[in-house]
Amino acid sequence: MEAGENVRLVNESDFAEVEHTVTDEDYESVALAEVKSPTFGFTEPSWRTDLCLVVEGTKLYVAKNILSLASPVFDAMFQSDFKEKSSDELELPGKKLKDVLEFLRCIYPNTYTQINRDNARIILPLLEEYQNLQLKPRCEVVILETVTEETSTNDLLQLLNEACLYDLKALRARCIFLISSRPCDALDENYCKSFPSASALNEIFVNVYTSMKKKLVELEEVAEENALFKQYISSEIRNGKKDLKLDPAQKWDDKTIVIIDVIPEGTKESKGVYTNIWVVPLKINIQNNGGRLYIKVENISENTIICDISVLCIQVNRQPRGKNNVVVQSGSFNSFLQHALFEILGTHSIEQVGKGYIFNGKIGVIAQVFMSKPNK
CATH number at residue 114: 3.30.710.10
Return the higher-pLDDT residue of 340 and 240.
340
What is the predicted pLDDT for the residue at 98? Answer: 92
3-state secondary structure of 204: helix
Contact 170, 21 (CB under 8 A): yes
Looking at residue 288, its pLDDT comes to: 87
Q: Is residue 1 part of a domain?
A: no
Q: Does pLDDT of 3 surpass 80?
A: no
Q: Which of 10-14, 41-45, 78-82, 293-297 has the highest mean pLDDT?
A: 293-297
Residues 295, 310: Cα–Cα separation, whole Å:
11
Distance CA 135, CA 120 (A): 9
Q: Quick one: pLDDT at residue 49?
A: 87
156 lies in the same domain as 264? no
Highest-pLDDT range among 115-119, 191-195, 206-210, 303-307: 303-307
Tell me the pLDDT of the chain averaged across its residues.
Answer: 80
Structural domain of 30:
12-206
For 269, which DSSP code?
A: B
The DSSP bridge pattern shows strands 51-55 and 89-91 to be: parallel
Assess if residue 16 is contained within a domain: yes
pTM for the predicted model, two decimal places: 0.49
116 and 201 housed in the same domain:
yes
What is the mean pLDDT of the segment spanning 340-358?
80
362-372/51-55 β-pairing: unpaired
The answer as to whether 217 is a domain residue is no
Question: How many residues are given for the chain?
Answer: 376
Beta strands at 307-315 and 362-372: parallel, antiparallel or unpaired: antiparallel
Stretch 117-133: mean pLDDT: 90
For residue 126, being part of any structural domain is answered with yes
**Residue 139 and residue 82 share a domain:** yes
Q: Are residues 72 and 178 in the same domain?
A: yes
150 and 280 housed in the same domain: no
187, pLDDT greater than 50: yes
- The residues with which 61 forms a beta bridge, in sequence order, are 52
Structural domain total, the chain: 2
Share of residues in the chain with pLDDT > 90 (%)? 30
pLDDT band at 32; cut points 50, 70, 90: very low
Residues 201 and 316 both lie in one domain:
no
| 199 shares a domain with 60 | yes
What's the CATH number where 333 sits? 2.60.210.10
Asked if 104 and 166 sit in the same domain, the reply is yes
Domain check: are 129 and 248 in the same one?
A: no
Considering the domain architecture, whether residues 273 and 193 belong to the same structural domain is answered as no
Residue 153 has pLDDT above 60, yes or no: yes
**pLDDT confidence bin for 124, thresholds 50/70/90:** very high
Q: Is the dihedral of CA 52, 94, 105, 137 positive or negative?
A: negative
Rounded mean pLDDT, 98-111:
88
Backbone angles phi, psi at 225, to 5 degrees: -65, -40
Final residue belonging to a domain, choices 155, 187, 206: 206
Picking from 206, 229, 255, the residue at the C-terminal end of a domain is 206
Which residues neighbour 61 within 8 Å (Cβ) at sequence distance 6 or greater? Answer: 42, 43, 44, 45, 46, 49, 51, 52, 53
Residue 360, pLDDT > 70, answer yes
So what's the pLDDT on residue 186? 64
Asked if the structure places residue 231 within a domain, the reply is no
End-to-end CA distance of the chain: 53
Distance CA 103, CA 100 (A): 5
